Amino acid sequence: MSTIRYTEDHEWIRDDGTVGITDFAQKQLGDVVFVELPQVGQKLERGEPFGTVESVKAVSELFAPASGEVVAVNTELESEPELVNEDPTGEGWMIKLKLSKPDELKGLMDQAAYDSHVKRATE
């Protein structure tokens, strides 16, 4: 099973480069109605915006949790953006990166640290 790391902005990334938003983030957004994602081949730097998620409540930018080249985009989200709500860490994944700086993952939160981060944010 792959390891998942988390950003303070509520994105997750697996060690295979798959990226999405967390369950906490999708709950905060409410019903997702549109997802805008980058093109395959786009190069991203850690922290750089790579797309947006639009919900009935708000539009939120998505930020790259690590640097790399976009090698896959979840095109299912074009017609089924609700997958982000239904399965944010599974079928609702957004992009896959070919990591250019894999060591950046070490600077992200593990599950326990992310859970503490969310708890502090909701207190």
Instruction: Assess whether pLDDT exceeds 60 at residue 1.
Output: no
Within the chain, strands assigned E span: 4-6, 11-14, 18-21, 32-36, 43-44, 49-55, 59-63, 68-73, 95-99
Instruction: Assess whether pLDDT exceeds 90 at residue 123.
Output: no
Rounded mean pLDDT, 35-44: 98
Instruction: Assess whether pLDDT exceeds 90 at residue 103.
Output: yes
Contact present, 62 and 83 (Cβ < 8 Å): no
Please provide the average confidence, as pLDDT, over all residues in the chain: 95
CA distance linking residue 55 with residue 113, whole number of Å: 27
Rounded mean pLDDT, 56-68: 95
Rounded mean pLDDT, 56-83: 96
| Residue 39: per-residue pLDDT | 97
Q: pLDDT confidence of 122, banded at 50, 70, 90?
A: confident
CA distance linking residue 3 with residue 10, whole number of Å: 16
* N-term to C-term CA, the chain: 32
Q: In order of start, what are the domains of the chain with their CATH numbers?
A: 4-122 (2.40.50.100)
Rounded mean pLDDT, 77-82: 96
Contact present, 13 and 108 (Cβ < 8 Å): yes
